[in-house]
Amino acid sequence: MNPIDTLFQTLRAAKRKAFMPFVTVGDPDLAFTRDLIPAVAESGADLIEVGFPFSDPIADGPVIQASYTRALAHQIKLADIFATLGSVKPGVPLVSMASYSLMFKRGPAAFIDAAKAAGVSGAVVPDLPVEEAEELSKLAADRDFKLILLVTPTTSPARAAKVVKACSGFVYVVSVVGITGERAKVSAGVPELLARLRTMTDLPLCVGFGVSRPEHVRDLKEIADGVIVGSALVKKLEAAGTDRAAGLASVRQLVKELSGALA
């Protein structure tokens, strides 16, 4: 069974929710990523979303855009990313956040095979329209690799039904209209969106975009199956600059605080 399915089965049986932090592979360099991923796992992550740096932002806010720029400054290649991920054993599932452009250039089947070999259990593909997802969905299903697409507050009910049908593993529910980044509070429309999606799928619903504080996590605890936090963590690393020890320490602390809010 795919590790993502195993995780959510275990969490549901224990009546727990998943905490999923996001990290950019290669920010500020690949050596740091090899230290960061296990540190995040040890601090309370249930699974980790690993961002594959990409030069053309899709829905990424300025914090994650900047982290991709820092990583790409080292001219890292897809092979370097897979090698780095394959060298770590975090003990929790890894999910890539990757543009379909990267998959297409490598070849979708070859990308999935390389990702699985590197210990990645699924992929969030933010720029893949559901109308064009059938081929990738089949390739992923044949390889027991999870394909996760996004549902946003502006996704129509008819289109949302198509999106969740194409998904496996879990559904990525975007909490706000717009790009990633910290917000003051969780959107008031999230409960209604999640309730509507519950009528369409039994897959876990994980909420991201704008989730950055323990109070946000507590707000989502009773209605979502998982919470995804990205910009707030990446911002900690940016603030630490060249002080790697300080960066790791600050990320560890924030992961503990945020995952603790689900307890």
| Catalytic residue ranges | 49, 60
Radius of gyration of the chain (CA): 17
Provide CB contacts within 8 A for 230, sequence distance 6+.
21, 22, 49, 51, 63, 64, 180, 208
Residue 21 preceded by cis peptide, ω within 30:
no
Residue type, 41: A
d(CA 156, CA 25): 33
E-only strand ranges, 74-225: 94-97, 120-124, 146-148, 150-151, 171-174, 205-208
If you search the block for the tokens 């452009």, which residue do you land on? Answer: 101
